[in-house]
Structure 1
Amino acid sequence: MTSGGAVPQGERADLLQTLDKHRGFLRHTVRDLTDEQAARRTTVSELCLGGLIKHVSGTEARWMRFVVGGAEAMRAEPGGQADWQAQFRMAEGETLAGLLAGYERVAAETDALVVSVPDLDRVHALPQAPWFEPGAVWSVRRVLLHVIAETAQHAGHADIIREALDGAKTMG
């Protein structure tokens, strides 16, 4: 969890510990893989293990931008517009080690933000999208719960992909 700085307490500690547990499941699922294995698709979906790390990292970073600056900040992609499909694949030159290092940076930034944000009840209007109710707002707390759910869901996807790849399981 947080390295240096303030130590989370109470609800913040609970939220961060839960998020960190699911991050750990995801990281554990890709243990001992080569870059080629991490990039391999083992199901009919576009998902690969490296792509899931990349997606979860990018999603967490986007939601933390939302926490700080609302929907407009969430849309602002560092380096330009993201290709939605590309976030689920490892691109030429990407390595699993590099994707994991990026995920660790995002996790550290999230942890620091959660400790320092003045109020978990602070809200922003959600971006306009067909999957969000028009005019809905989410609090920092709701965003964290969403990131936890997203991370847990994709850790499960990763477990299936890993088992299809070489029989290894996260839990068992």
Structure 2
Amino acid sequence: MTTNEQTVTGERADILEFLGKHRYFLRHTAQGLTDDQANIRPTVSELTVGGLIKHVSTVEQHWAEFAQGKGRSTPGATEYTPEVIAEWQNQFRLVEGETLAGVLAEYEKIAAATDELVRTLDLDTAYELPAAPWQPPGVFWTVRRVFLHITAETAQHAGHADILRESIDGQKTMG
């Protein structure tokens, strides 16, 4: 894999290839869907194919900021108001004015920016995770682990999207 004049090899190339493969599976799941189909909830969950792509984009951008030492919230900064809950729920569906093509284009931009970080950041730099009810204080993640987490999140949601797509029209990403 090359960028401008720099060849990416070893661990960085592995991370880029692994992340790229799972992004492909997620994007492929949406191939050929209309906006309406991308927003269908064919199972009992709130998840939609378009919403999952939107969610993965948001999560990837959040973690990419974290990997740069930005975007870490302060303890107790989030109150779960009706507006915050609605915003969270809207991550999982296309809302008024959003299209599948638009969500996919935004995902491509975020993915390209993350890939550049994989190529350039010090993978051993570590930051403390924000306080959360499920997270004890004092836990640090390396930038490497952040990129692996983005990959795991992408793979997990690509599987969810595949189930949704199969429920919509029988298409499977693999098989």
TM-score in same-fold range (> 0.5): yes
SS state at 2:24 partner: helix
Does 2:116 match 1:107? no
**For each residue in 1:117-149, what CA deviation from the matched residue of structure 2 results, as whole angstroms up to 9, or x when unmatched?**
1x2010000000022232100000110111111
Q: Distance in 1 between matches of 2:74 and 2:55?
A: 15
Relative to 1, partners in 2 of residues 1:155 and 1:2: Cα closer, same or farther, differing over 3 Å?
A: farther
**Corresponding position of 1:124:** 127
Q: Distance in 1 between matches of 2:55 and 2:9?
A: 29
Q: Return the letter of the residue paired with 1:62.
A: H
Matched-pair contact (CA < 8 Å) for 1:63–1:74: no
Does 2:154 match 1:156? no
**Corresponding position of 1:87:** 91
1:1-172 alignment to 2 at 5 Å? 4=4, 6-70=6-70, 72=72, 83-117=87-121, 119-172=122-175
SS state at 1:155 partner: helix
SS state at 1:69 partner: coil
Report % sequence identity.
60
Q: Return the letter of the residue paired with 1:133.
A: P
**Corresponding position of 1:78:** none
Give the gaps of 5 or more residues in structure 2. 76-83
Aligned residues: 167
Q: Distance in 1 between matches of 2:46 and 2:137?
A: 30
Q: Return the letter of the residue paired with 1:13.
A: A
**For each residue in 1:42-85, what CA deviation from the matched residue of structure 2 results, as whole angstroms up to 9, or x when unmatched?**
1111100000000000000000000112452799xxxxx78111
Relative to 1, partners in 2 of residues 1:105 and 1:71: Cα closer, same or farther, differing over 3 Å?
A: closer
Q: Distance in 1 between matches of 2:39 and 2:61?
A: 22
Q: Return the letter of the residue paired with 2:43.
A: T
Matched-pair contact (CA < 8 Å) for 1:3–1:108: no
Matched-pair contact (CA < 8 Å) for 1:52–1:158: yes
Larger radius of gyration: 2
Q: Distance in 2 between matches of 1:100 and 1:146?
A: 21
Give the gaps of 5 or more residues in structure 1. 76-80
Matched-pair contact (CA < 8 Å) for 1:7–1:115: no
Q: Distance in 2 between matches of 1:161 and 1:116?
A: 36
Q: Distance in 2 between matches of 1:98 and 1:150?
A: 21
**For each residue in 1:25-58, what CA deviation from the matched residue of structure 2 results, as whole angstroms up to 9, or x when unmatched?**
0011110000000011111111000000000000
